[in-house]
Structure 1
Amino acid sequence: MTRLSVEMLAADTVEPITSAGHAQLGIAVLAGIAVIVLLITQFKLHAFLSLTLGSLALGAIAGAPLDKVITSFSAGLGTTVAGVGVLIALGAILGKMLADSGGADQIVDTILAKAGGRSMPWAMVLIASVIGLPLFFEVGVVLLIPVVLMVAKRGNYSLMRIGIPALAGLSVMHGLVPPHPGPLVAIDAVGADLGVTLALGVLIAIPTVIIAGPLFSRYAARWVDVPAPERMLQALGESGQSPDERLSKEPRQRPAFGPTLLTILLPVVLMLSKALVDIVIDDPENTVQRVFDVVGSPMIALLAAVLVGIFTLLKPAGFGKERISPLVEKSLAPIAGILLIVGAGGGFKQTLIDTGVGQMVLDISKDWSIPALLLAWLIAVAIRLATGSATVATVSAAGLVAPLAAEMSTTHAALLVLAIGAGSLFFSHVNDAGFWLVKEYFGLDVGQTVKTWSVMETIISVVAGGLVLLLSLVI
């Protein structure tokens, strides 16, 4: 467990800032979440402001002094940003390097060149899963949409047969596998081991993405049999990014497939290596373990990938020294909103804990027969359905169930994170920006989007949640 996690757990055991009973705290939680939901869905207020105001409402209704509520929120915000802010920034830089250098296109072209016919949906899910490791979901969608449209048109495939596997790969990576913001925040909140969570996340992600991607796409293509929309093909062509041009026009310079893939997988390999060494050696004073504890730490692993990427991605693509700094600057601007939402979510989480809500959930759950992992999944599902945001669902659910991890083993704490992540993906609908992103890009109506995208997200959530519960019985 990291020093930050130990400090967080120590902070979680302090006396509550209010003496409210369980009933008042329960009302405060419902009111705080209701404020967040109302502000996001009805007033279209940014999630950062909604979480901030919801935290204040929670503390006020719980009877806590407002100055202490503000202190709790600020402390939670600061701790969360300190814990995951650098990782999100490094992930954004790596993703930008991959996109701008042509490395992402190189991976896509190489895999597509070896695929065809029935193997194409499997190729698409492989592409999306690899690309989705360092890229945020929205960026991955924008990057892969031209490829999906081109493949569907050229191969005369139903759009859903190609599109669903790509979306499934991106969504599973986003919800279950660090260094994406949601899993990172949950890991930070419950004090889970990142390497173990990453290993178990990949283990669960593989069957989940197969079921929700290539297998489900067969049925999705029957339910919604649509071709690639000409409107979107023309729009992409008018902007100079038509699918045909994207894949047929060779860039002046492009990084090779092997080095590009190794760069993407480098942080995963380093973090998994740390987890393996910790299990095999299990001696904090051992020199080998101490070395891997450093090189396999999330910050160093991602930083190493960024530095390696300068030589494996940017240099082969012809990027001189003068272009690297502007690229980094452009990659950081879009994540400002994400960092604020994540930080405010951490503030909301700390307010829940400091008002005694976390302890209340722990006390009440002792009298229930429901497993802690299922409880975490259900809470994340409820918040996801209400707010439409997987990130808000993750950070809020993590704050509510964090005390449940105090007596869990390392593996079960990691599974708690994955249960939250799985629940946060449940049934994306009209209050989720991703719903409308998919609808517009694929030229679907609302009903068709529900039959395909929404059902796919539900399959991911249920399958991943079920695998989490299954693993909890055997490890």
Structure 2
Amino acid sequence: MDPAPIEPAYSAGILLAIAGVAVLLLLFLIIRLKMHAFVALILVSVLTAIATQIPLTDVAFVTTYFFGKTLGTVALLVGLGAMIGRLLEVTGGAQVLADTLINKFGEKRAPLALGIAALLFGFPIFFDAGLVVFLPIIFSVAKRFGGSVLIYALPAAGAFAAMHAIVPPHPGPVTAADLLGASIGLTLLIGTPVAVLAWYVGSYLFTRYYGGKIYVPIDDSMLTGRKADEPGVGGGTGTATETRTEAPPTFGLVLTILLLPLVLIGINTILTTLVLAGTIGESAVVDALVFIGQTPIALLITLLVATYTLGTRGRSLADTEVILNDALAPICAIILITGAGGMFGGVLRHSGIGTALSDSLADLGLPLIVSAFVIATILRVAQGSATVALTTTAGLLSTAAAGADLSSVDLVCLVLAIAAGATVLSHVNDSGFWLVSRFFGMDVKTTLRTWTVMETTLGLSIFVLALALWYATP
């Protein structure tokens, strides 16, 4: 149980002013002083605790408590998801997925096939890692069929962006769901079709009717000259290229591994709902199915299946262990930043700022879901990081959500609205902006005309779907 909030030391207006200054200070430290987001979040959390008169003897406990609480949920899911993604990468699963879909869909639908492959592969892997893995696939298809590289690049990049923003086990939606009290399993089940529909409208159709018409020549220089032992390029132990030449996995096996956690978590959610409704009674079988469908257990089962069906193909268990160990290093910074974001949100709640914000939003008359989108958008535009925008907005709105008597579906809609705001208007302060710009050989102006506009249409598509679901459910 969270530590009880303190009695507010100031009026609602002063508390909101402190919250505003805290957010502005956070943005100033990250944007202008280039302070690492992890350090900036910790510093601002401590200063906010002091400013709101949380007793000095309690500051360390409160901040570390909320940091640990967030990590307890996020680190396990993100770590398991990263390991699954790494195994699919180094065994050639991504290449098999793309090749099979392109052969099934045909030349004219190659962009659609690449996007679907990226959606599937984007379930366990982060945006930047997925994009790097897919670079040789995108360039290979572009050279094969010709035209602007954006025809093939934007649907794939947009798919990774959609999955990263909405679908657990990615850290942003996991943390937002945890802070708002939403079911992570239900967030996954609802978020997945929302991500697919939003991607189709905001990324695929956008590329087909606008983005793909902007000609950008194929420039794969980012892949040329890389060292042979660099990840995802070729050579060295455990690289994707090396493994693809040694009995790559079948499409059916790759698809099974990607869908396994969705099936297990879906069974958990359905059975839990039926038990709560009294439709079925509890039994040993039901309890067992609910257990294996809990998100951490489902991902653990998926990782074990992937390890002993993919990881041991043509390599020893010791080599597989090295692959899994290497998967954890790149995600450490993201996990720590996410934990620090949860710390900041926890301090805001504990100090009474969350209650003050809730009351102020009620006075403005904005629906909670609209407030979620607007706040997340402001944070996204100001500081660039979608993860920071997600975690900070969820922390700010957690008190309002708790007091609004929302259904489990409404809470998921709130997570989706925050994710939508955290997706729009990617620009020069977003690392993803520069990744896309450099990888596909675009200048800043072209990237703004294509990637920034696509991220905005994607985010707006997510928000429209979340809004429709919010008002469609009783």
Instruction: Give the TM-score range, shorter chain.
Output: over 0.9
Match of 1:264 among 249, 258, 265: 258
Give the match for residue 323 of structure 2: 327
Give the match for residue 71 of structure 2: 81
- Mapped to 2, the partners of 1:58 and 1:237 lie a distance apart of 46
1:252 is aligned to 2:246: yes
1:221-370, aligned counterparts within 5 Å? 221=211, 224-229=214-219, 231-232=221-222, 234-235=224-225, 251-282=245-276, 283=278, 286-287=282-283, 288-315=285-312, 317-370=313-366
| TM-score calculated relative to the size of structure 1 | 0.92
In structure 2, what residue type is equivalent to 1:264?
Answer: L
Give the match for residue 95 of structure 1: 85
1:274–1:296 Cα contact (<8 Å) kept: yes
Give the match for residue 4 of structure 1: none
Question: Alpha-carbon deviations, 1:148-172, whole Å to 9, x = none?
Answer: 1121122112111111100111011
Which stretch shifts more, 360-369 or 167-176? 360-369
Question: Alpha-carbon deviations, 1:389-428, whole Å to 9, x = none?
Answer: 0110011001001122221111101111111111111111
1:453 is aligned to 2:443: no
- Mapped to 1, the partners of 2:399 and 2:243 lie a distance apart of 54
Q: Residue 248 and residue 91 in structure 1: after superposition, are their counterparts in 2 closer, same or farther (change >3 A)?
A: closer
2:372–2:414 Cα contact (<8 Å) kept: yes
Give the match for residue 195 of structure 2: 205
* Pairwise CA distance, 1:54: 1.4
Corresponding residue SS for 1:63? coil
The size of the alignment, in residue pairs, is 463
- Mapped to 2, the partners of 1:80 and 1:279 lie a distance apart of 26
Q: Residue 263 and residue 248 in structure 1: after superposition, are their counterparts in 2 closer, same or farther (change >3 A)?
A: closer
In structure 2, what residue type is equivalent to 1:351?
Answer: V
Q: Residue 250 and residue 92 in structure 1: after superposition, are their counterparts in 2 closer, same or farther (change >3 A)?
A: closer
Give the match for residue 373 of structure 2: 377
What is the RMSD of the two structures over their aligned residues, measured on CA atoms? 2.2
Match of 2:465 among 444, 467, 470: 467
Unaligned runs of 5+ in 2: 235-239
Q: Residue 31 and residue 323 in structure 1: after superposition, are their counterparts in 2 closer, same or farther (change >3 A)?
A: same
* Pairwise CA distance, 1:266: 0.8
1:271–1:301 Cα contact (<8 Å) kept: yes
Q: Residue 443 and residue 65 in structure 1: after superposition, are their counterparts in 2 closer, same or farther (change >3 A)?
A: same
In structure 2, what residue type is equivalent to 1:300?
Answer: I
Match of 1:122 among 99, 103, 112: 112
Give the match for residue 414 of structure 1: 412
Corresponding residue SS for 2:248? coil
1:388-407, aligned counterparts within 5 Å? 388-406=384-402, 407=405
Unaligned runs of 5+ in 1: 1-6
* Pairwise CA distance, 1:223: 5.5
Q: Residue 285 and residue 365 in structure 1: after superposition, are their counterparts in 2 closer, same or farther (change >3 A)?
A: farther
Q: Residue 67 and residue 220 in structure 1: after superposition, are their counterparts in 2 closer, same or farther (change >3 A)?
A: farther
Match of 2:20 among 21, 30, 36: 30
Which stretch shifts more, 231-240 or 318-327? 231-240
Q: Residue 338 and residue 375 in structure 1: after superposition, are their counterparts in 2 closer, same or farther (change >3 A)?
A: same
Give the match for residue 237 of structure 2: none
- Mapped to 1, the partners of 2:227 and 2:58 lie a distance apart of 55
1:81-230, aligned counterparts within 5 Å? 81-221=71-211, 224-229=214-219
Corresponding residue SS for 2:165? helix
Question: Alpha-carbon deviations, 1:81-110, whole Å to 9, x = none?
Answer: 112211111111111111112222221221
* Pairwise CA distance, 1:269: 1.2
Corresponding residue SS for 1:51? helix
